[in-house]
Amino acid sequence: MSTSDVTPQGVQGERPGREAVTGSAAVLDGDRHRAPEHARSSGTQEVSETEFRSYYGQPILNQIVWEGRDIAGYLFLGGLAGASSGLAAGAELTGRPDLARPLKYTALGAVSGSLVALVHDLGRPARFLNMLRVFRPTSPMNMGSWLLAGYGPMAGAAAVTGATGLFPRIGRAATVGAGVVGPAVAAYTAPLICDTAVPAWHEGYREMPFVFVGSAAAASGGMGMLTAPLGQAAPARRAAVFGSALETAAVARMERRLGMVAEPYQSGRGGALMRTAKALTLAGAAGALLSGRSRVLSAASGAALLAGSACTRFGIFKAGVQSAADPKYTVVPQRQRLREKNGEQEEEGAN
């Protein structure tokens, strides 16, 4: 409890180290820092570049309470489902039934698992249904709910008709329909997480859709390599190589552009998962290039790509958790934007 008083002569009765500090006590690597120096210049408030504070050293953002197995699993399975449907549709239209069939089963199983994870996170199924009461294009969550509601039945019809052989025309229409909607299902979770205040997610909004699409393509290609005979797996190998290259390039660009905010992608558990993902993805892509005549190598490479995609989603989730827990990832980018804005205003004033 504070016992100091604010008087016309200033603060009286302070107890150094025991008083609540207005504005906060910064915590960076476990050390407390002095209060940032504030100065007023040209009618705007300038702040220190390296020091910042949060109230009582507490995180500025509400902490992420989602379970990794629910949300990261939802991200991975949704991507795998959507991309598998796209690849299955291509295989169906080009006469590769032994590639299309397992991918249809994969899409149905993955989207079912994705919905289970989402509903488990929401607490009860009625909350998912409540999101369908409105149609709001500006809400990634609402659009995602509608995408899943439309995509799920088509993926189910494609898988069931493929397994039973019944209603082939309906099955082909459902396969093509799921293949058309699939890329959106694979990608929409990127804007979903970027439309939050979590620094590692929000600041990566430019590259995150490419990371998710690339990861989904690599996973579906890996599943095709794992399940289809070599003679029909060529499109899966191409999808795996393309997705791996896209994901790797997008992650590298995102980390380079984010600077300090990219630290959670490079350190801690998030960093470990992202490094594992990169190693598995590159190994799987190399295997995809070399496995044209080896069923064993094709299956092993496909498994590596699937594991790499899963590690990417869990790594991104963990990096978000780490960034939300440390105030510097919120404060430093805000100050950078403030400096840039002030610089632009001063430049306009000078002109």
As given in the structure block, the two tokens for residue 142 are 């609402």
CATH class of 68-327: mainly alpha
pLDDT on residue 263: 94
pLDDT on residue 242: 97
Matching residue, tokens 């293949």? 179
pLDDT on residue 328: 86
| Residue 210 CA neighbour count, 13 Å, CB half | 15
| pLDDT at 33 > cutoff 60 | no
Give percent above pLDDT 90 in the chain: 63
In tens, the pLDDT along 270-287 reads 999 999 999 999 999 999
Q: Which of 326, 270, 314 shows the shortest CA–CA distance to 68?
A: 314
As given in the structure block, the two tokens for residue 28 are 């960076």
What global pTM score does this model have? 0.80
Matching residue, tokens 């969550």? 141
pLDDT (average), residues 79-89: 97
The residues spanned by each domain of the chain are 68-327
122 contacts 128 by C-beta, under 8 angstroms: yes
